[in-house]
Structure 1
């Protein structure tokens, strides 16, 4: 059965990015490094061409494509966190390594890759049959930068912020 594996484009620092991602997110590892077999647009013979790795168990590929490409919000990588401790840990680790905060649980790493750091409970809130509660959670999320599980829960439950 074919498998879809996202391939991320870098300009000479694919291995550095893969090492950072696998260090920041639990259940992650580099699984293979492919080197260039000759000089070419992607680098000198022996330099890193492709890095295969997993982030939180999700297979990814980092490619040294030979030129700088810009990432957009059109695609992002979402990390489902078990609780606020995981949200804080992953969020703070990205920021400590050159990341920049955005809105609604989004941040960009130092290469410009968009990441969403989302507590799993957010999906429960948004899929609730209580549409008013789901809407309150969504409205609360829209006002946040890093997502706050307690504040989202209070909004979902219709409790005022204390």
Structure 2
């Protein structure tokens, strides 16, 4: 068991979230599910918590009701080796009500923020030529989903 597990407060739709993450992440696995009983506060038999794992990282979902909502102040970054991975995670997490944002950020259908970051972005921005790195930054600032070819063109311009 890992020392720290992020707990994500959901307002219902826990089953939908688990299904989405199962579709998007190839190594997704549910490790534990607990259900509400008669003592409530949610409907008896509904999921209270679910612990799942993605790429070796544990997360917990708490079906806690409408009291709290996700904000961009907390996001999860997915490091991608190529454009195919960027497209896969972007398309999967924006499906069915997700929202595109700027600079590789998005919200999934449940309002949870993700950053889809290709390794090439970091590599191009941290090379020894700061002027070219600034061109890459300017190109990225114009994007929603990060396009590696456009970043490379900016670097080489």
Structure 1 length-normalised TM: 0.86
Instruction: Write out per-residue CA displacement over residues 41-96 of structure 1, whole angstroms, 9 at most, x where no aligned residue.
Output: 2x233321111112333211111012252211111111111110111111112222
**Under a length normalisation based on structure 2, what TM-score does the superposition of the two structures give?**
0.89
In structure 2, the CA distance between the partners of 1:57 and 1:2, relative to structure 1 (3 Å rule), is closer
| Residue aligning to 1:57 | 56
Ranges in structure 2 where 5+ consecutive residues have no aligned partner: none
Runs (5+) with no aligned partner, structure 1:
none
**Higher mean displacement: 146-155 or 13-22:** 13-22
Change (3 A) 1:39 1:12: farther
CA contact (8 A) 2:2 2:58 kept: no
Aligned pairs for 1:39-118 (under 5 A) are 39-41=39-41, 43-118=42-117
Runs (4+) of structure 1 exceeding 6 A deviation are: none
* Root-mean-square deviation over aligned CA pairs: 1.9
